[in-house]
Amino acid sequence: MLILQGAVKTFFHGTANERRALRNVDLHLAEGDFATVIGSNGAGKSTLLNVIAGTHPLDAGTLTIDGRIVGTMPEHQRARTIARVFQDPQAGTAPHLSIEQNLAVAETRGKGRGLRRGVSKKRRQHYRDLLATLGLGLEDRMRHRVGLLSGGQRQALSLLMASFTHPAILLLDEHTAALDPQRAELVLTLTERVVSESGLTALMVTHNMEQALRMGNRLLMMHEGEIVHQLDAEQKRMATVSDLLTLFGSAKGTVADRTLLS
């Protein structure tokens, strides 16, 4: 489904601020895989999502999605198959457009956008049903501006917008980090539901180790631009938060050793 090989991304190349966000990352996601990604700040987690989405071009390496090499394809073209939910609840929606207008923009993802009415009657009915599944009462506020919604509501809407057109790949970038625990829980439950219902291939970055263990069937641990550990479904089921912390410790150790030796 998604094959990333030898991915390298360096920011501020050749300056004093040079930062090697991705060193040599290989990642294979099979169809239906749901991998969580953990790692310390600056480990390259967000950069990994950004190079997959096409926000940042790769310096080296290849990215293949569904058998197609998408190396130079711009973000808006990749959006046909890749959907995203951002950490910032404000980032994934247009605040001055209404809920139904935001959904209409999301619905035309990857299709030509012509001069047909954006929010048609048929679509409105569809959106009402979709919003009702969120259980947030948004179906009665479809003409309200999204800027008026709370963070949790916006994030739930973002998730719906990212998933209801059934993209092949869903990228989640700490999408519950800005929410209070109860809203975070709600958004997580929704995430599990849409991923399993649509059989999406998903990559979820998180800072929360419990979340990382609970969600998905694979776990990736990143450190200083590399994937230092991977757990498969079986290992993940057995692992605990303290196991992850131990792994973290060893990861830091090995990298530090390697830096010393090189």
* Chain contacts with another protein (rule: CB under 8 A): 53, 55, 74-77, 79-80, 83-84, 86, 89-97, 101-102, 104-106, 108-110, 113-119, 135-137, 144-145, 147-152, 161, 178-180, 182-183
Phi/psi at 27 (5° precision): -145, 130
For 108, phi then psi, to 5°, come to -90, 10
- Closest by CA to 240, choosing from 220, 214, 217, is 214
Distance CA 199, CA 35 (A): 13
The residue among 52 and 247 lying less far from another protein, judged by its C-beta, is 52
The secondary structure of 44-102 as a DSSP string is SHHHHHHHHHTSS--SEEEEEETTEE-TT--HHHHTTTEEEE-SSTTTTS-TTSBHHHH
Residue closer to another protein by CB (options 164, 248) is 164
Residue 91 or 239 with smaller CB distance to another protein: 91
Residue type, 209: M
| Nearer Cβ to another protein (48/219) | 48
User: Least separation, in Å, of the C-beta of 143 and another protein?
Assistant: 9
Nearest to 184 by CA among 203, 161, 208, 202: 208
In the complex, least distance from residue 180 CB atom to another protein, rounded to whole angstroms: 5
Give me the least distance between CB of 112 and another protein, in Å please.
Answer: 8
Nearest to another protein of 6, 137 (CB atom): 137
Rounded to a whole number of angstroms, the minimum distance from the CB of residue 151 to another protein is 4
Distance between CA atoms of residues 49 and 257, nearest Å: 28
Nearest-approach distance from CB 221 to another protein, in angstroms = 26
